[in-house]
Structure 1
Amino acid sequence: MSAQPQKTVLITGTSSGIGLATAVAAAQAGWLTVATMRDLGKADALRRAAAEAGVTDRIQIKRLDVVDPDSVADCLTEVIAEHGRLDALVNNAGAGHVGTIEQGTVADVRATMEVNFFGVVEVTRAALPHLRAAQGRVLTVTSVGGVVGQPFNEAYCAAKFAVEGFMESLAPVAATVGVSVAVIEPGAVASEFVASQSLDVPALTAAAGPYGPALQAYIDRTMKAFGSAQTPAEAAAPIIDALTVDRPAFRIQTSDRARDFVGTKLADLDGSAVQSLTGSWVAG
């Protein structure tokens, strides 16, 4: 009897954070892991983590820029040529954006949508024929910000809301051809608020004009929340579970705190509970 071919998963945005932790954990779980990132010059952290975990032989690092259709197509072509199959896709690549629209530009919003929404659409579209052949699954890391709109995150939450709507609509269609679709909703994850966005907080608040007090209140509250955040490895664990269970739920939160937060919105028919909650974040 011939051995079953090793299952292959492609993960985007693996240079740091949840993506890096998910790539290592997937390899530890036995997956042949194609770990992708836009800038291969940032691959050293993943290489070190893979070596420490003893899974270097199960992680293949490739370049993939989710906003470049040619890059997406080239990467998928290489994966199929080299491995013959794709069993799962984890859409993780994304970028934050802090600001409010009066003081930003529509170009800022478009750029945020391009990475966080259209990038997901591009990669999912390219992967679906291969996932359909393998009866595989699409897991997309969104955010609790894809369910609850948050102050000074208008562009980011708009993009994540769009991803959730896209995937919620795709899920029943994909299921008819054997592909499971799920969204993963982390809350605060350690090191991913100020550091990952390179925020100059004093300059940001100084430039905020009439919004300065509200922005400072928001940043103070959010930095405290991130002080007790999940680690990337903790956030990655439910993703690995969703890769392996027979029928993953469509919406998966990565912590009790995230479940409570999302639950507030899903039970809030008139929006007053969310407005009261998030309004308190920007009160002086």
Structure 2
Amino acid sequence: MTSPKTVLITGTSSGIGLAAAIGAARAGWTAIATMRDPGKAEALLEAADEAGVADRIQVKRLDVTDPESITACLDEVIAEHGRLDALVNNAGSAKTGTIELLGLDEVRAAMEVNFFGVVAMTRAALPHLRASRGRVITVSSVGGAVGQPFNEAYCAAKFAVEGFMQSLAPLAATVGVDVTVVEPGPVASEFVANQNLDIPALLNAAGPYAPALEAYFGLRRSVFEGAQTPAEAAAPIVDALTADRPPFRIQTSDWARNFVATTLADLDGSAVQALTKTWVR
């Protein structure tokens, strides 16, 4: 018998990562579902039981900002399964605020998780993926294509991710590794809620940016009313795992496709500026 293919997915305690782990297991993969705190795996394990795939889900501790944690996790995967066929870079954290109101330590922290964590995981996984002729799938965001007010740190990290992956993709292909980025739009998950934003306090501290921030929060509420479910956003990840030749860039919804199209056809940047200016006035 051929052993199941193995995929390591980061950030699986909730949201897209959880749904991707369940979807991959349903597709016949062994899903190594990683998270910083395995004590938060209850929701994932309950979902795996309900889906009948608990035997194909393995929870492991992994902190993408800790090189020793990355090495230990990958060493365990190879020792236990003998192979790694795909990496799904999903772990990340949101960061709302404009640069004058954020400390540089907050910006660096956002880059550490959302960008350097992706780079570190990809670098560590590539030798194993070359051996299996596997693939790297990275959850970016529409914020990796369209810069958004009050999301400078987050969008900067996602832009960096997309530049990194777009540069890596043709080179990785020469050694048999496919590279794909997945761009979700709004998703009804714990990702945004996990910021624990105190909106009145933020508005009180925003100074001259308060009117723009209030407008931004109003827009965000309306946009998230039509958000995708995590399962809907994760479905293209599973498609990219199983496709013979996955594309480099995949949006997870028509909304995301239309939004990203604004910047992909915007040679002088005026279309994006015209769009995002309406968010803050």
Answer whether TM exceeds 0.5 for this pair.
Answer: yes
Cα deviation, 1:189-211, whole Å, max 9, x if unaligned, reads 01346412111111111111110
Closer/same/farther in 2, CA of residues 277 and 193 from structure 1, 3 Å limit: farther
Aligned residue runs from structure 1 range 176-255, under 5 A: 176-192=174-190, 194-255=192-253
Indicate the SS of the match to 1:9: strand
Residues 16 and 189 of structure 2 are in contact (CA less than 8 Å); yes or no, is this contact kept in structure 1? no
Residues 14 and 189 of structure 2 are in contact (CA less than 8 Å); yes or no, is this contact kept in structure 1? no
**How far apart are the structure 2 equivalents of 1:233 and 1:204?**
31
Match of 2:268 in 1: 270
Name structure 2 gaps, 5 residues minimum.
none
Aligned CA RMSD, in angstroms, stands at 0.8
Match of 2:3 in 1: 5
Residues 14 and 190 of structure 2 are in contact (CA less than 8 Å); yes or no, is this contact kept in structure 1? no
Paired letter, 2:103? T
Indicate the SS of the match to 1:183: strand
Match of 1:69 in 2: 67
TM-score (norm 2): 0.99
Match of 2:168 in 1: 170
**How far apart are the structure 2 equivalents of 1:13 and 1:59?**
14
Residues 14 and 37 of structure 1 are in contact (CA less than 8 Å); yes or no, is this contact kept in structure 2? yes
**How far apart are the structure 1 equivalents of 2:162 and 2:189?**
24
Name structure 1 gaps, 5 residues minimum.
none
Indicate the SS of the match to 2:88: strand
Shift of 1:157: 0.3
Residues 193 and 223 of structure 1 are in contact (CA less than 8 Å); yes or no, is this contact kept in structure 2? no
Corresponding position: 1:32 with 2:37: no
Cα deviation, 1:247-269, whole Å, max 9, x if unaligned, reads 11000000001000000100111
**How far apart are the structure 1 equivalents of 2:270 and 2:156?**
19
Cα deviation, 1:102-146, whole Å, max 9, x if unaligned, reads 111111110000000000001111100000000000000000000
Paired letter, 2:259? F
Residues 190 and 229 of structure 1 are in contact (CA less than 8 Å); yes or no, is this contact kept in structure 2? yes
**How far apart are the structure 2 equivalents of 1:193 and 1:35?**
17
Aligned residues: 281
**How far apart are the structure 2 equivalents of 1:193 and 1:212?**
24
Residues 10 and 17 of structure 2 are in contact (CA less than 8 Å); yes or no, is this contact kept in structure 1? yes
Report % sequence identity.
Answer: 73
Match of 1:260 in 2: 258
Structure 1 residue ranges (4+ consecutive) displaced by more than 6 angstroms after TM superposition: none
Closer/same/farther in 2, CA of residues 193 and 223 from structure 1, 3 Å limit: farther
Q: 1:135 aligns with which of 133, 136, 157?
A: 133
**How far apart are the structure 1 equivalents of 2:52 and 2:194?**
27
**How far apart are the structure 2 equivalents of 1:126 and 1:211?**
41
**How far apart are the structure 2 equivalents of 1:162 and 1:232?**
24
**How far apart are the structure 2 equivalents of 1:244 and 1:56?**
20
**How far apart are the structure 2 equivalents of 1:280 and 1:202?**
22
**How far apart are the structure 2 equivalents of 1:104 and 1:89?**
32
Match of 1:92 in 2: 90
Residues 191 and 226 of structure 1 are in contact (CA less than 8 Å); yes or no, is this contact kept in structure 2? no
Residues 35 and 60 of structure 2 are in contact (CA less than 8 Å); yes or no, is this contact kept in structure 1? yes
**How far apart are the structure 1 equivalents of 2:48 and 2:206?**
42
Match of 1:160 in 2: 158
Match of 1:107 in 2: 105
Shift of 1:97: 0.2
**How far apart are the structure 2 equivalents of 1:24 and 1:62?**
15
Closer/same/farther in 2, CA of residues 111 and 210 from structure 1, 3 Å limit: same
